[in-house]
Amino acid sequence: MITLEPFKASPFFFHSHLQTIFGEIFGSSPKITHLLQSFEVNLPDGDQLICEHLPGSSQTVSLLCHGLTGDSRSSYLLRTAEHLKTLGHHVVLMNHRNCGLGFGKASRPYHSGSGADIGEVIFALRQKFPETKIILFGYSLSANASLRLLCEPEILFKNQIDRYLPDAAFIANPPINLSRASDLLGSGINQVYEKFFVRGLNQLLRKQIHTKLINPDRLDLKYFNSNMRIKEFDNRYTSIYSGFQNADDYYEKCSTYKKVEKIKIPTLILTSDDDSFVDVQDFKNLAPSPTVQVLITRGGGHLGYISSRTNRLGSYRWLDYAAVEFAKQIFT
């Protein structure tokens, strides 16, 4: 059982939207990018991922995985990497397919069920850093993808399954019910977030078409505009180019809210009771598991968690504190 100081939202960021938005833009990223060393991970389908390594001295590797339209330079990853570095960890920041430094290396999209890709990175890390413990940190989209890896490794891999799995996992704000998350993104003021995500996804898609990374023959590009909904994007592109029948098939197969009890490694799932596009009720209904601890904070938004007071890191960033405390406590 991981013990954390309770989260208390800053009175200046009292609403979930303030937490979510200012959680993204508040403060600056640490200046550690010059220390990062990039390396490739080859995937079975011929695509490649680019990861970045912040060297450490201990026998623990922390793998950090970003959310939708993010990359290895996302501010929350860099902040967490800097803190984990002080523990001596080797820190690896993953780019999903065609994200960040990995653009041009893949022909297929990444999505909320890309657990196999994360598993391939872990397999590569076990070769690169033998005899180490690996902690997986998944955020938002990668949080659900990480859960899919933990819940269904026997479906994603045929042999040496344990070598694709981490030794522990920290999971932050996972959209465990993808259909519900899609509906929430498309409702009310949440459409502001939806437009932000769809704009980023469309830009990446058109860039891939322009550079001939993908064949657009199955796409009707007139639908890919600023008025597109996230489910329509998933229906017309993500699902089809990822081997699913449609968005509903993708959402059904990659949602994890009915599978969490299958997890066999120590896992902390963190969410807030006011996440704008992740329904907290899905977490309250999760089947209990001896290996999984579910923590629902009062307030915090989606990856926001700006606190009313500083924590042991000397920061108002409670999510960073929670991640570091998990890393400190999980193997003790």
Tell me the domain boundaries of the chain.
11-176+259-329, 178-254
Q: Percentage of the chain with pLDDT > 90? A: 95
- What is the per-residue pLDDT for 226? 86
Within 111-225, residue ranges assigned H as helices are 115-128, 141-151, 153-156, 178-185, 191-210
- Please give the pLDDT value at position 28: 75
Residue 229 is encoded by which pair of tokens?
């909904």
- Name the residue type at position 317: R
Which pLDDT does position 193 carry in this prediction?
96
**Structure confidence at residue 26 (pLDDT):** 82
Judged against a pLDDT cut of 90, whether residue 27 lies above it is answered with no
**pLDDT level of residue 330 (50, 70, 90 thresholds):** very high
| Local structure of residue 214 (DSSP, 8 states) | S
Q: How far apart are the C-alpha atoms of 293 and 314, rounded to whole Å?
A: 26
Average pLDDT estimate for 23-51: 94
Please compute the mean of the pLDDT values over residues 191-204 and round it to a whole number: 96
Going by C-alpha positions, the residue among 229, 241, 320, 319 that lies closest to residue 277 is 229
CA angle 69, 75, 78 (to 5 degrees): 115
Cα separation, 298 vs 10, whole angstroms: 12
At the top level of CATH, the class of 11-176+259-329 is: alpha beta
What pLDDT, on the 0 to 100 scale, is given for residue 326? 99
pLDDT at 192 over 90: yes
Mean pLDDT of 210-220: 92
The percentage of residues in the chain with a pLDDT greater than 70, rounded to a whole number, is 100
Instruction: Give the neighbor-by-neighbor strand order of the sheet with 90-94.
Output: 37-42, 48-54, 90-94, 60-65, 133-139, 168-172, 267-272, 292-297
Going by their DSSP bridges, the two strands 133-139 and 267-272 should be labelled as unpaired
Q: Could you tell me if 36 and 65 are in contact, meaning their C-beta atoms sit under 8 angstroms apart?
A: no
Summarize pLDDT for 95-144 with one digit per residue, the tens.
999 999 999 999 999 999 999 999 999 999 999 999 999 999 999 999 99
Q: Are 297 and 270 in contact (CB under 8 A)?
A: yes
pLDDT tens figures, 284-294: 999 999 999 99
Q: What is the pTM of this model?
A: 0.97
Buried b / exposed e across 251-269, counting CB within 10 Å, b at 16+? bebbbbbebbebbebbbbb
